[in-house]
Amino acid sequence: MRLLLVEDEPTLRAQLRTGLLDAGYVVDAVDNGRDAQHLGETEVFDAVVLDLGLPQVDGLTVLRHWRTAGRTQPVLILTARDSWHEKVAGIDAGADDYLAKPFHMEELLARIRALIRRAQGLASPLLHCGALALDTRSGRVTLDGQPVSLTSHEYKLLSYMMHRPGSVVSRTELTEHIYAQDFDRDSNTIEVFIGRLRRKLPPETIETVRGRGYRLVALP
């Protein structure tokens, strides 16, 4: 899952980026509203963490611009604890949730997981595809109750597909969501990861849809 982190305070931005990376997310981090607005328009993100007090272009303006342009990525805004008016303005501008500073990293992660689930119509943090299960809280994957050991990229790919049950996802889409913007992306590597996953799961779990991409199949 790929996130956009927009925070102008260097220490907090570094701390948040580290925490999100440790939680298994791909993170693009920027420190101003102009770059945030551009990335939100041109790149695809599963969720955005957006501070409102930004240089160049403020966070509310960025958010309103995204929504006016039809960008629907879930947005969690960061506000000062006593700025209730910012919370109201953010929600009215199209934010999906807010978190007041200071906050615990665990709460931020829980809210991000919930936003991503809701965006796909999923209610539970435990995702299932037949006998295959993925716990978004712990990052644990099991097959028939037995743990499955995955590399970070294998997990990111499987997690993205399990958040979209029954949907066909293309190699390009997978590439966009498991690599950050500044990474040297190569969609051909997706085939490598798919091959590795098929060796760790029942091969027919991941179906190739010719000319379109891949789909998870719930086996009996």
What per-residue confidence (pLDDT) applies to 19? 96
What per-residue confidence (pLDDT) applies to 166? 84
* pLDDT over 70 percentage in the chain: 95
Peptide bond into 74 cis (omega under 30): no
* pLDDT at residue 25 is higher than 90: yes
What per-residue confidence (pLDDT) applies to 185? 61
For the residues 207-215, what does the mean pLDDT come to?
92
What per-residue confidence (pLDDT) applies to 182? 61
For the residues 7-17, what does the mean pLDDT come to?
96
Burial 30-47 (b: 16+ CB within 10 A, else e): bbebebbbebbeeeebbb
Highest mean pLDDT among 89-98, 106-115, 161-170 belongs to: 106-115
Rounded Cα distance between 78 and 54, Å, is 11
For the residues 176-196, what does the mean pLDDT come to?
78
* pLDDT at residue 134 is higher than 80: yes
> How is residue 206 written in tokens?
């991941």
**pTM score, two decimals?**
0.85
What per-residue confidence (pLDDT) applies to 187? 61
What domains can you pick out in the chain, each with its CATH number? 2-119 (3.40.50.2300), 126-216 (1.10.10.10)
Q: What are phi and psi of 173, to 5 degrees?
A: -60, -45
Tokens 């006593």, located at residue:
82
What per-residue confidence (pLDDT) applies to 122? 87
For the residues 115-137, what does the mean pLDDT come to?
92
